[in-house]
Chain A
Amino acid sequence: MSTATNASKATKTSKASKASRTAQAAATTAAVDAPLTTVPAVDAPVAGPDTRRKVRPATFHETDVLALAGAAACSAGLTWLLFEQFAPFSGFLGWVFVGWVLFVAAYALLVSMDQEGQAVKDRVVAVVIHSIAFLLLLGLVFVIGYVLFRGIEAVRHLNFFTQDMSITQPKDPLDRGGVLHGIIGTLWMISIALVITVPLGLLTAVFLNEVRGPFPRFVRTIVEAMTALPSVIAGLFIFSTYILAFGFPKSGFAAAMALSIMMLPIVIRAADVVIRLVPGNLREASLALGAGRWRTVLFVVLPTARSGLATAIILGTARGIGETSPVLLTAGSTALVNLNPLSGPMVSLPLLAFQMFQFPFETMRARSFGAAATLLALVLGLFITARSIGGRSAGDLTARQRRHRQEQSAADVERYLARARGDWTDVPAAGAGVGALVDMLRSGARVPARPPSVSARGSRRGWGGLPGGRASADADPGAAKAHEAKEPVDGPKEQTP
């Protein structure tokens, strides 16, 4: 693949220099001139057969902008007429809806004036899809913004975060009472739930990927089906076992267990997807180097998938933290701060938001929005953390990790060379095998394990200055042989990122 790319590049250059030749002849020359190994450009994207290029019919005209503007003006005017002058319509949503329909209709009409049927259809669909996606985004921003905005009223009183509702009546003004008990409860519950979920979830995800046979497949099927387990059922299960059958009172611990049952399939599934993307050849390399299964998992599979796993756990946390119904059934209800999750009722932020919503007083509504806004801020924070540390697929390294790996490879080369020179007294005298290795290193100045982009950068950083370099390879027939031999080994390596 990379050879093909390089060959086509070479074709271009030789075409430029020998313009009189035919393209075919140039191509033949290129094939002859092409070096035996090819080094792709630094950080060149690996162009797989299915990489999508930016292909789009070039049919965007200036008139399109005019048509859009015209349709917008037309729909705004017509909607205003409809709403203000003719019909007894009212409401913001109705305005948006009617305006949108009129806009699409006007746009279709305008485009059909200078375009054919297929093109008109294409334009109208494009406008519809763009506007619906935009509408959804707007809806999301609006929901979040609305709750945060309504929450400000309660949240701007600092006592909201430092007091509970023990001595506060529902109708008391907002400078009294708060949701401290909810915040503490939420933190307790999610911590316990994470202690249960993370080890069990990750181990199960590893189990699904590392163990073969029908059993893991069966477990995976069940877990996938359980991903959408209604959260109220999780609550009902803990309610029926821990509380009714075993006779424990409602507590934060019970709620945490209900949350764990709800979060477990989510974390397992997300982690499973991430671990499945760890390239199989990394595992095989580790096994070939003599590591056992658990070492492979601990030192190769999990570190490779680290950022994805972190994302999976944090997103599971975000889901668990906002869940109300399992907590509603299992945690009880209290207005006091309860620091002990094992005894006594405990509330969480979403539960408080829900309970306060049910009071028909404005102050409690405001507190409800305050609790929801606090919860939302927590979820947003978790989400942003998850996205900033994670979201990378397996093997996709940060600049720092790449640099680290490069330095490690350089150190390895130094080590091999030192060993081959006999610098280490405990190394046996260099036999034929070690000699061949040294020659390989000298002639190629590349270590197979290093990806091309790094090696190109690495040579700039100085470790390409190996004793001898390319010249010695040319001089020594044995080394040249070794260099040739290396190529098939090296070739496929270049494609792995």
Chain B
Amino acid sequence: MSVPHSTVIVVGSEQGSPAACDEAGPRRDEERGSTAMTVLADGADTVTPEVPVGPDDRPRVVIQGTDDRGDTIFNRLAISSGSIVLAIMGLVGVFLTYRAVEALGVAKFAFLTTQAWEPASGEFGIAAVMFGTVLIGLTAVSFAIPLAVATALYISEYAPRRLQRTFIQLVDLMAAVPSVVYGLWGALWLEDHVTGLSRWIATYFGWFPLFAVDGADPADPLSSVTVYTASTFIAGMVVGMMITPVISSIMREAFMQAPAGEREGAFALGATTWGMIRAVVLPYGRGGIIGGTMLGLGRALGETIAVYMIISPVFTIQYHVLQTGGISVSALIALRYGESQGLALSALFAAGLALFTMTLIVNFLASMVVARSRSGAGAEA
């Protein structure tokens, strides 16, 4: 301890010639208190570097960083790249709005309440499309939540330590699988195999409006299953598979942050593993659960190709999730952009703007929740 401190003091009192230092030394050290006393006590052993001889009271030459110009360039480069990214992101919103103005001017507030999509006759609005988007998103999230929570808990609490990394990577891999692959699987395999489940739910829970299916005959078990194909339910299932890894990895991160001391405390008080999870892990991970789910919802709202491949588009508010037909904004854009001109195209941009705004709000709230649950995590760096 003593040597570094003494060095500091010697340097600090090195204001004039060595003689001045010697004279001023004791008094200054008195003022500095106990650390200075140590220096005095073992002053004989302390090595004092020789003070360079030079004119009195001249400020020492501080070597200016030779990198100054490089640093300036670096700073400008960094700031300009940040600005470019910001500008690109801003332009996305600006251009969407600019293109959408024409259609919004024609439709006015009816844009929010009209269900049909016939821009040629001026009859268009996002009521049905937006409803379909949210319905698919909610279906997807309700499939994804149990899967994601269980997977996250499994990886963070139950999986053997050796396999933890492998499982994390598998979940990441699931997020990297292209949506067209999920779409092909959903449209050509899942649809054939899930209609039985759809029919079963419609038969026994059809009294609940959400699960009712028009044109289905519960009394006839051998009736055609075509009324159950290409439904919101199937699209939601596939999108749910796609967003599960996103939700799960955020939840896992939150669960793993639960402090070891409290876990062991819970065990020491006699909790079972599940008791510990409920008392420690889940409360700590609450921000991650909510934020992750919302982030997943944001992803589900914007999913295009898988939904387009599975669903058969209808332009009315269709809340029978098990029944054929549904729509989402992104599927509408992919479906109609090719044949649209003028006002019709502008209407598509207006729909895109609505989707953009909605996902942005959902994501914004989500990352706020997640960031708050992570507070302090980055303090070390």
User: Is A51 part of the binding interface, using a Cβ–Cβ cutoff of 8 Å?
Assistant: yes
Q: List 19 A-B contacts (CB under 8 A).
A: A57-B271, A57-B273, A91-B196, A118-B272, A133-B155, A136-B150, A146-B189, A203-B81, A207-B78, A210-B78, A215-B82, A232-B304, A234-B92, A237-B92, A264-B88, A321-B178, A357-B184, A382-B176, A485-B3
Bound: A203/B74 CA distance, A: 10
Using Cβ atoms and an 8 Å threshold, which residues of chain A touch B92?
Answer: 229, 233-234, 237, 261
| Nearest CB in chain A to that of B294: its residue | A228
CB-nearest residue of chain B to A371: B180
**Given A91-B196, A241-B95, also A280-B381 (CB < 8 A):** yes
Q: Which residue of B lies closest to A257 (CB)?
A: B88
A268–B85 contact, CB under 8 A?
A: yes
Cβ contact within 8 Å between A237 and B95:
yes
B361 CB to nearest chain A CB (Å): 9
**Complex CA–CA separation, A323 to B378 (angstroms):** 32
Residue numbers of B with Cβ under 8 A of A are 1-4, 45, 47, 49-50, 63, 65-68, 70-71, 73-75, 77-79, 81-82, 84-86, 88-89, 91-92, 95-96, 99, 146-147, 150-151, 153-155, 157-159, 161, 165, 167, 169-170, 172-174, 176-185, 187-189, 193-197, 200, 221-222, 241, 244, 259-261, 263-264, 267, 271-275, 277, 295, 298-299, 301-305, 309, 330, 333-334, 337, 345, 348-349, 352, 355-356, 359-360, 363-364, 367, 378, 380-381
Q: Most chain-B Cβ atoms within 10 A of its Cβ — which of A90, A146, A225, A245?
A: A225
Q: What 1/0 flags go to A261-300 for Cβ under 8 Å of B?
A: 1001100100000001111100000000011111101000
Residue A126 interfacial (CB < 8 Å): yes
Flag whether A129 is at the interface (Cβ < 8 A): yes
Known contacts A208-B82, A225-B360, A230-B356; A324 and B302 CB within 8 A of each other: no
The residue in chain B whose Cβ has the minimal distance to the Cβ of A124 is B274
Residue numbers in B under 8 Å from A264 (CB-CB): 85, 88
Q: How far is the CA of A373 from the CA of B115 in the complex (A)?
A: 39
B380, A280: Cβ atoms closer than 8 Å? yes
Q: Is the CB of B178 within 8 A of A379?
A: yes
Residues of A within 8 A of B348 (CB): 236
Chain A residue total in the interface (Cβ 8 A) = 125
Proximity bits, A417-450, B CB within 8 Å = 1, else 0: 0000000000000011100100000000000000
Q: Give A230's nearest chain B residue, CB to CB.
A: B302
CA distance A139 to B171 in the complex (A): 11
Chain B residue numbers with a CB within 8 Å of A91 are 193-197
Q: Interface with B: A25-33, A92-100, A406-414, which one? A: A92-100
Q: Which residues on the B side are within 8 Å of A328 (C-beta)? A: 305, 334
- Contact present for B356 and A215 (CB under 8 Å): no
Task: Output the nearest chain B residue to A234 by Cβ-Cβ distance.
Answer: B92
Residues of B within 8 Å of A118, CB to CB, are 272, 275
Interface string of A132-165 (1 = CB under 8 A from B): 1101110110011011001000000000000000
Q: Which residues of B contact A207 (CB under 8 A)?
A: 78-79, 81-82
Residues of B within 8 A of A130 (CB): 154, 158
With A118-B272, A232-B304 known as contacts, the answer to whether A237 contacts B75 (CB < 8 A) is no
Top 7 nearest A-B pairs by Cβ distance? A292-B67, A322-B178, A230-B302, A294-B74, A122-B272, A132-B150, A133-B154
A133-B151, A431-B50 provided; 6 other pairs, C-beta below 8 A?
A50-B259, A132-B147, A146-B189, A223-B85, A233-B96, A387-B169
Do B180 and A481 have beta carbons less than 8 Å apart?
no
| Residue of A whose beta carbon sits closest to that of B159 | A133
Asked whether A139 and B367 contact (CB < 8 A) given A315-B176, A324-B305, A369-B184, the answer is no
Contacts of A177 in B (CB 8 A): none
Contact of A94 among B89, B154, B173, B197 (CB under 8 A): B197
Partner of B89, one of A139, A222, A240: A222
- Interchain CB contact under 8 A, B89 and A223: yes
**Interface status of A190 (Cβ within 8 A of chain B):** no
Contact partners of A463 in chain B: CB under 8 A: none
A133's closest neighbor in chain B, by CB?
Answer: B154
With contact pairs A53-B260, A233-B355, A294-B67 given, residues A372 and B197 touching in the complex (Cβ less than 8 Å): no
Does A200 lie at the interface of the complex (its beta carbon under 8 Å from any beta carbon of B)? Answer: yes
| A228 and B363 contact, Cβ closer than 8 Å, known pairs A143-B182, A375-B178 | yes
Partner of B99, one of A132, A240, A431: A240
Q: A97-B197, A315-B176, A324-B305 are in contact. Are A228 and B299 (CB under 8 A)?
A: yes
Tell me which of A227, A297, A365, A481 contacts B45 (CB under 8 A).
Answer: A481
